[in-house]
Structure 1
């Protein structure tokens, strides 16, 4: 007698429309990304060079966000720094999430000694103060680049995704439809990709938002200490140079204000998205 796979719950797309926090977060992040994509097309990169214009000029019609103490147009600096900051966060998030999902799936589905090794490694890494390692590594790198910074941050932020995906995989592998699929002859990678991974997508999306938030927080912290890319414009390095040249004491709010506002807006968008995703995932878990 032929057996059939038990139906799996799909993703209720209408739930996204009712989730105000998620919608608000997506709108905020969408506007930020839109500005990051379009703004560099309408500015002259030469205006971000040192000494290109009169320094310490407040916002005006010719310089919308004024100029810094080094004679750079702040609007141009912001237009070029925002994409680089987002790039670091997204790269670090993607790398750490990819590692976390792969390790979490293997640990949760295979189990045994492999699960023990992966679980122990993630637990040990979580007990080590990541910011101390980040500062130590960044301080000893000769030339920090955007890509290298993303890789360093990702190397110390894969543990949370690993634990989350492992826990959900342990739960899903015991579900009825997975057992039926196994009895039907489905096994190995095919079972993971067809039966388990599709049901992990909401958790993967939530983990991605969390890892990007953590990566950007660590990145901005390092850059504020002067350990970021020296040859690339980023929001964190703009704040560093503002404090290095005592912009607050000089009353040059337009130097440090815009990057802080942009960073705050990014984190507000990520926070709202995280709250929305968490609510969606919790409801999904509760209905399974």
Structure 2
């Protein structure tokens, strides 16, 4: 009888690759720190509204400083600032993620599609991108937001997304123009592969690192833009975000009145969220690009 040798299951290489990616991720302190902060914000956004009290409830404690009863004090109408901060985390992250997803999808379709197709299609899509790049971004966002003011959260998401995709599309187009002349892409064309399969299998995976990085920066841009629009009174005040908290604090003259507990927490959360996303972006660059990995000397080694 001949003994049959045990064969590795197909899932074994995938598990090994997953463990290797996890080890690489843990080597980057920036990535670990950024993911940790993002996990705290995400957990707060998911379960926070059920644990916090009603952010719209008023009390007799008007404009009180932080205390045991109100951890971050109260507003001029007696609303708990901590409850508003926790509930606002969900609205801020939802707007940031939704706008970033739409902007990334538009930039991928226009950038990669135009760069791969070439010809009239590329020139037309490139012209559209150039028009959006020539128009100053912030004035365009303010004008469009003022026009659709009061139409809800969806309008805010669309305004941010449709005014922030052009730069990413230009980067993806340039990368696609470089990739479509590579040998493996030309070989796929010779073998008669369909265009959509060449884009999805040969080109898109090679640009995944750029797309992820652009998505992260799109989230940062969306959060900061929404906060700016809300501070200017151009966002839906009924939808509570960290930006609307700053808007109400500014209207109530919290800065001149010394009510720092009203505007410092939301501003600090916006800064921490942007910092965490930037750390994740830098950490992913270290993990995905071997040239950026820093080798730390072992203990005891000279």
TM-score (norm 1): 0.88
Q: In the alignment, which of 145, 162, 165 is matched to residue 155 of structure 1? A: 162
CA distance in 1, matches of 2:210, 2:27: 19
CA distance in 1, matches of 2:196, 2:149: 41
What secondary structure does 2:102 align onto? helix
CA distance in 1, matches of 2:180, 2:144: 39
Q: Do 2:148 and 2:155's aligned partners in 1 also have CA atoms closer than 8 Å?
A: no
1:51–1:41 distance in 2 versus 1, CA, 3 Å: closer
Gaps of 5+ in 1: 1-9
Q: Which residue of 1 aligns with 2:180?
A: 173
CA distance in 1, matches of 2:39, 2:89: 13
Q: Do 1:53 and 1:73's aligned partners in 2 also have CA atoms closer than 8 Å?
A: no
- Alpha-carbon distance, 1:282 to partner: 5.5
Residue 17 in structure 1 maps to residue 26 in structure 2:
yes
1:272–1:82 distance in 2 versus 1, CA, 3 Å: same
Q: Which residue of 2 aligns with 1:85?
A: 92
Q: Do 1:105 and 1:165's aligned partners in 2 also have CA atoms closer than 8 Å?
A: yes
Q: Which residue of 1 aligns with 2:117?
A: 110
Q: Is 225-234 or 17-26 further displaced after alignment?
A: 17-26
Q: In the alignment, which of 251, 259, 262 is matched to residue 269 of structure 2? A: 262
Residue 95 in structure 1 maps to residue 131 in structure 2:
no
CA distance in 2, matches of 1:50, 1:142: 26
1:1-288 matched pairs, under 5 angstroms: 13=21, 14-45=23-54, 48-49=55-56, 51-280=58-287, 283=290
- Alpha-carbon distance, 1:16 to partner: 3.1
Q: Do 1:138 and 1:144's aligned partners in 2 also have CA atoms closer than 8 Å?
A: no
Q: Do 1:144 and 1:230's aligned partners in 2 also have CA atoms closer than 8 Å?
A: no
- Alpha-carbon distance, 1:21 to partner: 2.0
Taking only aligned residues, the RMSD between alpha carbons, in angstroms, comes to 2.1
- Alpha-carbon distance, 1:18 to partner: 2.8
Q: Between the two structures, name the one with larger relative contact order (CA 8 Å, sep ≥ 6).
A: 1
- Alpha-carbon distance, 1:94 to partner: 0.3
- Alpha-carbon distance, 1:280 to partner: 4.9
Structure number with larger C-alpha Rg: 2
